[in-house]
Structures are given as C-alpha cells and as structure tokens.
Amino acid sequence: MRTVPRRRSAIAVVASIVRIGRRPAAAAGTGRSTMRSTVVALTVTALAVAGAVTVVATTAPAEAAALAAAVEDEGADCPVTLPGTLTANAKLPDPFKKLDGTRITAKSDWRCRREEIKKLAERYVYGEKPAKPASVTGTVSGTNITVNVTHNGRSSSFSAGVQLPSGSGPFPAVVVLGGFGADTAAIRAAGAAVINYDPYAVGREGTPRTNKQGAFYTIYGATSSTGLLMAWSWGVSRIIDVIAQSGGSILKADAMGVTGCSRFGKGAFVVGAFDQRIALTMPIESGSAGVPIFRGIPGEGAQSLSSAYGEQPWLGDAFGSFTGSPNTLPVDTHQMVAMVAPRGLFIMDNPHIVNLGPKSASVAALGGAEVYKAIGAGENITYWSDIQNGSHCANRPEWSTPLQQNIQKYLLKTGNAPGAIRISSRAAGNLAEWRDWQTPTLTDGPSTPPSPSAPPSPSTPPSPSAPPSPSTPPSPSAPPSPSVSPPPPGGCSATGTVQTQWATGYVIQPVAVTNNGTSTINGWTLTFTLPAGHTITGSWNATVTASGQTVTARNVAFNGTISPGGSVANFGYQVSRPSGNTQLPTGYTCTAS
C-alpha cells in the first residue's frame, strides 16, 4: 500500500488511505508519585439511540485537575520481573492479576500493576520507550515549538507548529498527529491550542526495520527494535518536556491532550497510554495495531496482524513472533486502554468499516473500562461508534458535543460531563466472551497482603479494623457497629425496568432498590437469575458477579445507604442473549445489611 508522504493535507492523506473496494490503510522522567484517587459519585442512565446501546455516567464535579500526572511514568520505581515463558490463552489477560499470580486488592496497587503492563507492552508489542534523555531543550512561541535532544553523545531535533485560540493564555493544548485527528477548529473554539506534530520527523514510514529513520532513531540507532508508534510517543513526550521547561506563559504542560486518526490514531493511543502527563487521549478509527484487541482481529476480518506488522514498522520488532498467534501474547490492548486510567479517554470509532476492527475495539474499551470503574474513575472513559457517516476519518456531528465536553473537563478544567459508552449495534463486541476474570472491589487504602512465608490460618478472623470482603458477609453472631443501623424488619425489595432490547440483547435500567423497613439500610445485595444462554456483558453502579445463570449484585460505596421508605435507582446492566430468545431475568431477591 502506498505510504502517506509527509506534510500532506488531511484530505489528501485520507484520499490515499481509503480506496473503494480495497483495504484502507491501517489506521494510520522518572520519579514516583502516589496513586491519584478520584472521588466521584455516579448516576447512570442507559438508552438506545440509532441502534446503539448507550451507558452514560454522571458525576459530581470532577477532580479533573488531579488526573494528569506530574511525571511521564509514575511507576518507574516499581520492580518488574517479566515472565520467562509464555502460555497461550484465548481469553483476554486479567488486568488485575500481577505477574506473581496474585490480584491487586487496593486502588493504590494499580500504580505498580500498570508498570507491569507497560513493561509487557514494551517487550512484546511496541518496543521500549526510553526514559527522558540526558538533555532536552527547546523553545515555545505562539506559532512554533522546537525540540533539541542530546543523549549518549548523539543529538537530534525536530519542531511542531502551534495555533493558539482566541483570548489570553496560557492555554491547554492538543497535539494533533500527522495533520488530522479530532476537529481542530472545534478544539480551538473550545479554548485549547493545537500543536501540529509531524510524526514522520521522529519516525519515518517507508523504511525497513533494519534502517529506521527519524529523530528517535538518530538517538537510539537505526536498528532499534522500537516501532514507529512508540517513537512517535517518545516525540510527544519530549514536546511536553519543553513546554514544562518554558515557564508556562503560553502553553500549559499540565493540560495536554493528543489526537489522531487512522495510523495517527494508533499513534495517539500509544502516546496517551505511555505518558501519564497527557490529560486527554483521543484516538480515532485506529484499526489494527491501535485500540482493537489483538485476539479479536483474526475472527472479525479486520486488517490482519501480519499485514499491520508488515505494512509499516509501526509495531516493535518483537511483535512479529505473534502475528499468527496473538493468544500467546501476555498482554492485549484492553490493558493499554487501562493504562490511560484514571485520565480522560475519548475513543472515536467507525462501525461501517470492518477492516478497522470496530467490534474488537469496543471489547478493548469495555475491558479497559473495568479498570476505570475499579479505581473509581468510571466516568472518565468514553467510547463512541454510534455514527451515521461511514467515511474514514470524517468530522462527525455525533462527536461534536462530547469533544467539547472532554476538552472542558480535562483540559480547561471547567466541566464535569460524564463519560459515555455508545456502541453501534453494527459492531458491538461482547466482553463476556473474551474474559474469564471478574472485576474486583478495590479498597481505598494500601494493600496489606500476608507474607508469602506465613499465610494466615483459615481459622483466624479478620482484624477488627478491616471490613469483611464483599464476597464474605459478616458472621450473624457479630453485632453491628454502633454507627451502622441494624437491618430493618421490613428488609428491602427491588424491581427492574427494561430500558431497551434488541434481538440479541437488552439493557435493564434502572433497577430500583427500596427500603421497606423503619431503619436505615447501609448496604444491599441482590440476586436474580438469567435465562439460559443469557450473559451479563456490562454493569454499572454495583459490584456484579455471576455463577452460571445466578447473578449477585452488591451496592457500591455511594448507593448503599437508603432511608426508611426510600429507594435508589441507579444500578443497571446489559445482557447478551441468543437471537430469538425473548425471555428476561426473573424476580430479584434483596437482602439488606
């Protein structure tokens, strides 16, 4: 396939990528910081729009200012020992399972678990992203950014154009890869600057893997095993270095976004995953080597992994061993989605072009969203493929409002609009088919795992200061804490409403939990039964587990307390079912605590 030349217009680039009846081009510091917590209160509604299943989370004013990190990699000090051998697994790897085989139990554990995923992704998928070079200098003006890098006796430089919005600075900024991504006019109208970044200056396409060219490879060698996507990511990180050193009079280093479409959507995704200073990541129609899960691409009919690997040296050299066996990969893209958490992520996709792997991309988003939810940032991710125009990399009216809202929330820090999952029915993936793990309820405090050499006796009761696990209710003989009201005599009840349904699935929203007693409820558990063949594919505002067709849903922190005679109605869930099977779940059993 013909390579896109440097510095071509967006229209020309798209024209070269899309061919009627042919495959479109696959889409084109160190230092430690404690885990940033995001305290939110969620309310979720679900609805169907134009054949799409939509989940919208609303939130109290977001602590957006705290989402972007002060350093490129918060977990750089975490020790990581990569596995010596790999085992094939057709299911998506458990993002909560550490390399030592244990699962994380606290939100603070995510910092080092993310570092493990980062190292796996570098080793097997993208190639290594070196830390900040010994010397990074440059200039920032209202029209241009220059970057000069020196490391181990080698030097290189590159530049990027700047377009400021109206008003007075300093301004947040969105790095636009390759000349096109999210609507730049809309970005500037929202109050953010646009940084026009030429990735080919840092890592050129059209070069063999043994002779890679560009500013990155000038520093690290033409035979570096690092692929172009990671080289492009490294370049954006160096731009942020220069902005951070510039004094912040023109651009804000703590309010940076990134976007790109097609091959540059791949690049934008990698930029956001591997630099935690990026507050908002916005990949568009990224295709194979982008957001879609590697394991799903062969079955969906998207651009093959071997084609994506061979078309350009986008992926690291090591990935060549997995193009025919993605099940052997110890990592997949749902974990790269999770690497962005808790920061803002707005994935825009096209369900009309199978070659882009939109179904596999929706699975990646749903899988990564489980990590977002577990660490308390479920409202910070948006996936949107519910669009009418199927042209590749077109500006779409459906994305206009969420684009503006994301910029306001994460870059201007003036908004609190919730994230939304809007998956087109044309390309709806089913996470349940791809995972054999469940999302844990993570504690807010640090984890205190027992010493491997001295596991606690099974008969040893938990410490009085440690609340029992949600999956292990307290002993009936244990009196309730004086600050917690005992279960009301009348108990609780629940009813569910079918929000929308289609041939192969449905959404129940809301499920209303009512306190029928005379004392306050401080927790509830629901159990219900799914019809045979039905499977939970998503849920919100409850901790949901399934054993066969029996489903258990427990309240989360903010919706467990119900006053006498009151109710909460913000738990919901989505189910897939065999076509033609129109049965619905049977009644709910509610237990108050």
| CATH code: domain of residue 499 | 2.60.40.290
Q: Please indicate, yes or no, if residue 66 is contained in any of the structural domains.
A: yes
Whether residue 53 is found in the same domain as residue 191:
yes
Number of domains in the chain: 2
Phi and psi, residue 477, nearest 5° = -80, -10
Q: Please indicate, yes or no, if residue 9 is contained in any of the structural domains.
A: no
What angle (nearest 5°) sits at the alpha carbon of residue 252, between those of residues 275 and 340?
25
Q: Are strands 193-197 and 171-177 parallel, antiparallel or unpaired?
A: parallel
Domain finish residue from 402, 429, 456: 429
| Distance (Å, whole) CA 253 – CA 94 | 33
Q: What is the pLDDT of residues 274-332, one digit of tens each?
A: 999 999 999 999 999 999 999 999 999 999 999 999 999 999 999 999 999 999 999 99
Whether residue 415 is found in the same domain as residue 529:
no
Catalytic residue among 156, 233, 262, 485: 262
Q: Please indicate, yes or no, if residue 366 is contained in any of the structural domains.
A: yes
Whether residue 200 is found in the same domain as residue 332:
yes
pLDDT exceeds 90 at position 137: yes
| Distance (Å, whole) CA 204 – CA 189 | 32
Across the range 187-195, mean pLDDT stands at: 97
Predicted local confidence at residue 485, as pLDDT: 33
Whether residue 513 is found in the same domain as residue 417:
no
Whether residue 409 is found in the same domain as residue 511:
no
Longest dimension (CA), the chain: 76
Give the pair of three-digit tokens for residue 50: 């134009």
Across the range 571-575, mean pLDDT stands at: 82
Predicted local confidence at residue 469, as pLDDT: 37
Find tokens 């690049």 and name the residue. 267
| Distance (Å, whole) CA 536 – CA 541 | 14
Task: Give the domain CATH number at 93.
Answer: 3.40.50.1820
Catalytic residue among 237, 392, 493, 593: 392
Q: What is the pLDDT of residues 447-489, one digit of tens each?
A: 544 333 333 333 333 333 333 333 333 333 333 333 333 333 4
Q: Please indicate, yes or no, if residue 459 is contained in any of the structural domains.
A: no
Mean pLDDT computed over every residue of the chain: 83
Catalytic residue list contains 534:
no
What type of residue is 341?
A
Whether residue 421 is found in the same domain as residue 496:
no
Whether residue 496 is found in the same domain as residue 425:
no
Catalytic residue list contains 392:
yes
Range of the domain at 539: 492-592
pTM for the whole structure: 0.70
pLDDT exceeds 80 at position 24: no
pLDDT exceeds 50 at position 540: yes
Q: Please indicate, yes or no, if residue 584 is contained in any of the structural domains.
A: yes
